[in-house]
Amino acid sequence: MKKQSKIIISVLIVISLCVCGFIGARRINVEQNYRDIQVAIRYSDVLNIARQTNEPIDVVLKHFNDLGANALFVRENTVLPISSADYVNFKDQGKATVYEGYELEKDYPESNNIRRSNLYIEAYDEETFNLIYNNLTLKGISAYKTLIEGEDYIEVTVPTSILTTLGVGYNYEHLQVAADLGYVILPQVKSWDHVSDESIEAFVQQIEAIPNLGTIYFADSAIVEPKNPMIVEMIEEHGLGFVEFFSEKQKGFETLAKTSSQKGIAFNVERLHTVTDAQVKQYTTDGLMDRYMLALTERNLRTFLFKMPNTLDIEKDANFLGTNISTFTELAETKGYTVVNEIKPYNLPMGSYVLSLLAGLGAILVFVLLLDYLKLTKVGYILGALGLIGYAGLLKVSPDMGIKLMALFGAVIYPTYGVTIVLDDKERNIKETILAFIKCSVISFGGALTIIGVLSRTSFGLGINVFAGVKAAMLLPIVLVLLIAYYERHGLSYQYYKDLLSNKVTYLALGIMAVGAVVLLVYTSRTGNTGSISPLELTFRQFLDTTLGVRPRTKEFLIGHPLMLVLLYYGYKDKYIPLLVLGAIGQISLVNTYAHIHTPVLISLIRMGYGLIFGIVIGLIFIGVTKLVGKVINKWVLKNQ
């Protein structure tokens, strides 16, 4: 490639990265001003405490409100409980009773209106009677008003299980008590099968009747009619609740969130963090605070639901819940967050076609430079031009697909190029080693900027859309770096690769390959949010979080970066392939830190900075140790000759 062409390409890459930096700066501004939170408790826990302590519900609510809770998370009532510990139903709230037909026959032997196989619901007030009856009939359940010896009943022909799962409204009396105390009501609505315009209209009216209504959550795996105009309008006004690690799997959630966002201009989605019922029993207050504060500071979550363990000791359980609420509220306020009743929605500046095109241009041009480095300049020009045309067209036809593919491409090509151009067979001194490592990391950071530039959109920041191809972004650079390293040194020599494959495999080589396979398996399984960690590593992570505020990634500062420094210092040789693979992991991880768009940019920058600083220090220690070990071994060999 001519020098002039390389200068032009380099300038365009810098312009592209500056555009990414500009987009990132706008995002940082939004993230820094997103400081309002809600602290929620479960309606079911309030009912449980009130029932077991014989305290009025307003006293229980007032107690937790004084400790810092300002939102009440209310699952829609059923007629009957689904379990003995479930109080979110009209039966356990003293509002209704259900009888089997044969039971009523005993009480009313003269009645001709009773069918032994049917169920009969008796409501103790007119409001509850109408609420249950209307919900059943509008949701496709065969229900009839029946008068038995002067008493009103609702006769149903469905099994008891339907009455434990179908939502039939809310206890508005309790919700009014909570609202009067200042609670925001966060309803969690249940879906139903037989959907009609009448049932949707009644459903919306029931939600709108909730006093001090806040964000609306959906309880089931599928959201009912996510494109229905009445539901969309309701969500536009009150907001859609996103339960972390659950809502991303809900069928219809993305559709409803985007349909109610006014074409992406104004999303009204609130992210909620909580733990499962099983997990809350395992945590101490300190452990729970670590988890919740991490969610607060690093994942754009702003509603925090606290649960009671529900063991056999109600006093201990209630105290644990109260302590967690008050401790979290104090910690959050010391970090500059404010507990409010209404959280302003999270919305990043709208992405534009031109900015997205410019943000992705740099990655395409780096690909051209990589092929030029491999003496494939003409191929690079042709593929680069085709890639730019394809990306520009895809942004027009399918913008989401276009930016996802470009984010993945940038995450792969930048660290691949960065590692490739600093590999040298010759040894370096310490200064040259550090400079080469910094050069590699700066180039890799271009991939991070590309991700920021193309994916800094509200739907990604809220977790509605996510970075696609996480595993590919972790493995492809390793494969490409290895292929390029071999191609540079051995070309396409048939004889070399034939001899390589014909070599006898020793037990040592098999052992090394097995270890490498395990490392890669752990590496890929631990990517994203799906991996598990040992108690020892959890303790180490908590120590880093507490000490540094932001925990650097262990695969960067303990493994990848130090081993990359060792490799750069001693020079690359084919026998150092394990070092190359592990060293590349550090650069890849540096880039993929930014693939979590819900994590504030400043947090990722701090995490990366810690990783680089500690990685260099540990890498220099590794070099010193290897040199010392080498000297000892050489002396021992000379002594025994």
- The per-residue pLDDT for range 227-263, each reduced to its tens digit, is 999 999 999 999 999 999 888 889 999 999 999 998 8
Contacts 24+ apart (CB under 8 A), 151-157: 151/122, 152/122, 152/123, 153/99, 153/104, 153/120, 153/121, 153/122, 154/120, 154/121, 154/123, 154/129, 155/115, 155/118, 155/119, 155/120, 155/121, 156/118, 156/119, 156/120, 156/121, 157/117, 157/118, 157/119
Position 553 pLDDT exceeds 50? yes
- Alpha-carbon distance of 325 to 529, in angstroms, equals 26
Can you give the pLDDT at residue 538?
A: 66
User: How far, in Å, CA of 585 to CA of 594, rounded?
Assistant: 15
Biggest distance spanned by C-alpha atoms of the chain: 112
Q: Which residue has the tokens 């609510």?
A: 61
Query: What is the per-residue pLDDT across 514-551, written as a single tens digit (0 to 9) for each?
Result: 666 666 666 555 554 444 556 676 677 777 777 887 88
Give the model's pLDDT for residue 492.
Answer: 77
* Residue 297 scores a pLDDT above 50: yes
Q: Cα(340)–Cα(406) distance, rounded to whole angstroms?
A: 38
pLDDT surpasses 50 at 25 = yes
For residues 400 and 394, give the distance between their C-alpha atoms in angstroms, rounded to a whole number: 9
Q: Which of 541, 422, 429 is nearest to 485 (CA)?
A: 422
Kindly state the percentage of the chain with pLDDT values over 70.
93
Average pLDDT, the chain: 91
Q: How confident is the model at residue 179, as a pLDDT?
A: 97
pLDDT tens readout for residues 197-235: 999 999 999 999 999 999 999 999 999 999 999 999 999
Nearest to 347 by CA among 459, 470, 179: 459
Contact 210, 189 (CB under 8 A): no
Predicted pLDDT of residue 535: 67
Render pLDDT for 583-613 as a digit per residue (tens, 0 to 9).
Answer: 999 999 999 999 999 999 999 999 999 999 9
| φ and ψ of 93, to 5 deg | -90, 5
| Alpha carbon separation from 115 to 111, 119, 153, 164, 174 (Å, rounded) | 10, 8, 13, 21, 34
- d(CA 433, CA 448) in angstroms, rounded, equals 23
326-371 pLDDT tens trace: 999 999 999 999 999 999 999 999 989 999 999 999 999 999 999 9
Residue 507 above 80 pLDDT? Answer: no
For residue 56, pLDDT beyond 70: yes
Which of helix, strand or coil describes residue 75? strand
What is the predicted pLDDT for the residue at 527?
Answer: 54
- The percent of residues above 90 in pLDDT, for the chain, comes to 78
In angstroms, rounded to a whole number, what is the distance separating the alpha carbons of residues 209 and 170?
10
Where does the pLDDT of residue 85 fall: very low under 50, low under 70, confident under 90, or very high at 90 and above?
confident
Given a cut of 90, whether residue 88 has pLDDT beyond it is: yes
Q: How confident is the model at residue 500 (pLDDT cuts 50, 70, 90)?
A: low
Is the pLDDT at 196 greater than 90? The verdict is yes
For residues 421 and 443, is the Cβ–Cβ distance under 8 A?
yes
Comparison of pLDDT for 532 and 126, the residue scoring more: 126
pTM: 0.89
Section 139-153 average pLDDT:
92
Dist. CA 393–CA 398, nearest whole Å: 8
CA distance 284 to 290: 10
CA distance 119 to 122: 10
For the record, the structure tokens of 434 come out as 């550090």
pLDDT given at position 531: 47
Buried b (16+ CB within 10 A) or exposed e, 49-82: bbbeeebebbebbbebbebbbbbbbbbbbbbbbe
